[in-house]
Structure 1
């Protein structure tokens, strides 16, 4: 049985002329981008780069080309919150020329010998045998066109942990849904709001890719 474990989820919005100097807790709270009373654990503000980290395991980063909001999570039942915050941010700043959107997840699957599993699943063994090289591990990157987005998925061997357990061998999976603009504000919000459908899509497709059906 395959159990997908999420570790973090984020939204990335690229643009020309983001303004990092505006990013501070007061600005976000005053414009109802984040709820009142959220406590920060780190605030860094410089002309080229700004970071705000909240107790809720949410971090917002902004430079002149990239807005990112990220949340560390433990399960798919977590209330991510970040997608609504990203939508409110672009609504407050509609004049910025946004040009690219990324919906991203970092996941893992517990797996003994993940290096061997990935090579046997995705790479022709004949080619490896003919090379006569001592194979160590493989990194798999796949891309697909899916419903007006580019679906990118990476599989790599590594180590991961879930709450209450030590680190264990695992397949590390990075999922990205890439949208190329330019966009209107309504288009951005529409694409961000697709996050749940995108999540359901990869939760269904990854077991098939790995050949492990639940």
Structure 2
């Protein structure tokens, strides 16, 4: 059975690559975000071990830890990424960092928060799989030119925001932890973005309400994966 036929006849086993929380603001101050500030204010746990060199400048800051969590900040965006693949999303350390950051810095002019999921299903010919599973035959599939990528998006309104689901063919690099070798895997990537605007000032209370919706967003995203023909993550 070919990979495409296998994808058509069985549920796709998605793998969580990344969960992230993005907090948009007009006046983040990257220069104060450094390992000492994060630890002293208990935004991160003291037990976390930093990996790599931390960057702290007026324009951009980044700190990464050995639990696969990273924090990057520019004047308009705080991005907290959990790349551990742990499916216990409601208890992700990224959520703890987001809540504590807002608690420590409540008077930043926060304007929005995004809850994001990124999952991957490995398959040999993702373009053909997407065409055969999700797209109706038509002239858009009859071009004589080579196809080097295919995808589609769904956008839905939510209270105070919107939900965007993106499905596309992709290539990801996978590292073997035993020897550090890197191989490329082809497959189908699904992104889920749950964006909510924050119109209050200070917005700490509204942000905390948005963070509280994380279990609902995660459940909703899994239901979408099921409708797309995949296993729950």
| TM-score (ref. length: structure 2) | 0.81
Give runs of aligned pairs for residues 31-110 of structure 1, distance below 5 A: 31-41=41-51, 42-77=53-88, 80-110=92-122
Contact 1:74 1:162 in 2 (8 A): no
Cross-structure match for 2:195: 178
Contact 2:30 2:61 in 1 (8 A): yes
**Which of 192, 200, 209 pairs up with 1:190?**
209
Q: Which piece of structure 1 moves more, 115-124 or 169-178?
A: 115-124
Cross-structure match for 2:186: 169
Q: CA deviation at 1:100?
A: 1.2
Contact 1:13 1:66 in 2 (8 A): yes
Unaligned runs of 5+ in 2: 1-10
Aligned residues: 212
Q: CA deviation at 1:147?
A: 4.9
Rounded to whole Å, the distance in 2 between the matches of 1:180 and 1:146 is 10
Cross-structure match for 1:151: 163
Rounded to whole Å, the distance in 2 between the matches of 1:193 and 1:158 is 31
Question: Equivalent residue of 1:154, what SS?
Answer: strand
Unaligned runs of 5+ in 1: none
Rounded to whole Å, the distance in 2 between the matches of 1:132 and 1:56 is 46
Q: CA deviation at 1:45?
A: 0.9
Question: Alpha carbons of 1:132 and 1:46: their partners in 2 closer, same or farther (altered >3 Å)?
Answer: closer
Contact 2:69 2:83 in 1 (8 A): yes
Q: CA deviation at 1:213?
A: 6.8
Cross-structure match for 1:23: 33
Rounded to whole Å, the distance in 1 between the matches of 2:22 and 2:57 is 20
Q: CA deviation at 1:116?
A: 1.2
Alignment root-mean-square deviation, CA: 2.4
